[in-house]
């Protein structure tokens, strides 16, 4: 399986405010791939355009799609396979003949033709934090102390930094949740 990162190494470099070191360059793609897959899972979104076939219930003749943004509708038929007339209204379609209790089998394409900037920037920011983790924290240390003559310098590492694992921050998770497919009641998914 090939992973398509939701941000690039140059995005991470911009987030750092400098060029990546050789050590960072070796690790950054793995971190971007891992964060991208975690973000996709949390968002329940592929961030690509895909074709779906769903049996959807109308609400006052209006059918809303669970997958958006809507790109195109290629087929709308009733349960008895009769073609239905419809009009697009943003990310929904209106089928005047259905009323409030009708169902339609709809084939449509939806999704993103490019990664939204908010997602790209969030992934880049999270990646730069991960590759910037102090090496001692990556090794599992929770705190550090350095003594130089009469001076002592110490500190503790955040729980997220210990072990250096690539995980989404609470802000990243909140952003991913904004991209989840909308709930439109019951959906009967039909094989394409």
Structural domains of the chain, count: 2
Q: What are the Cα distances from residue 122, in Å, to 4, 34, 95, 150?
A: 16, 14, 39, 42
- Range(s) of the domain holding residue 89: 50-111
Is there a single domain that holds both residue 62 and residue 40?
Answer: no
Q: Is residue 186 part of a domain?
A: no
**Contacts for 179 with CB less than 8 Å, ≥ 6 apart:** 43, 45, 47, 116, 119
Q: Say what the pTM is.
A: 0.77
- Single out the residue in 111, 131, 159 at which a domain terminates: 111
Per-residue pLDDT of the chain (192 residues; tens, 9 = 90+): 678 899 999 999 999 999 999 989 989 999 999 999 999 999 999 999 999 999 998 888 899 998 889 999 999 999 889 999 999 999 999 998 887 778 999 999 999 999 999 999 999 999 998 888 777 766 666 777 787 888 887 777 666 665 567 889 899 999 999 999 877 655 555 544
């Amino acid at each position: 399986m090939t992973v398509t990162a939701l941000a690039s190494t140059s995005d991470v470099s911009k987030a750092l405010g400098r060029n990546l070191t050789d050590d960072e360059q070796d690790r950054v793609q793995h971190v971007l791939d891992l964060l991208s897959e975690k973000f996709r899972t949390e968002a329940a979104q592929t961030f690509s355009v895909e074709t779906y076939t769903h049996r959807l219930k109308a609400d006052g003749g209006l059918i809303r799609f669970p997958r958006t943004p809507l790109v195109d509708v290629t087929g709308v038929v009733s349960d008895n396979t009769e073609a239905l007339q419809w009009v697009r209204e943003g990310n929904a379609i209106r089928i005047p003949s259905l009323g409030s209790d009708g169902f339609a089998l709809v084939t449509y394409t939806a999704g993103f033709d490019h990664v939204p900037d908010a997602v790209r920037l969030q992934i880049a920011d999270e990646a730069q934090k991960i590759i910037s983790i102090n090496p001692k924290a990556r090794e599992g240390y929770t705190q550090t102390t350095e003594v130089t003559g009469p001076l002592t310098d110490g500190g503790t590492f955040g729980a997220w930094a210990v072990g250096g694992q690539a995980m989404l921050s609470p802000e990243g998770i909140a952003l991913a949740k904004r991209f989840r497919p909308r709930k439109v009641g019951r959906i009967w998914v039909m094989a394409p």
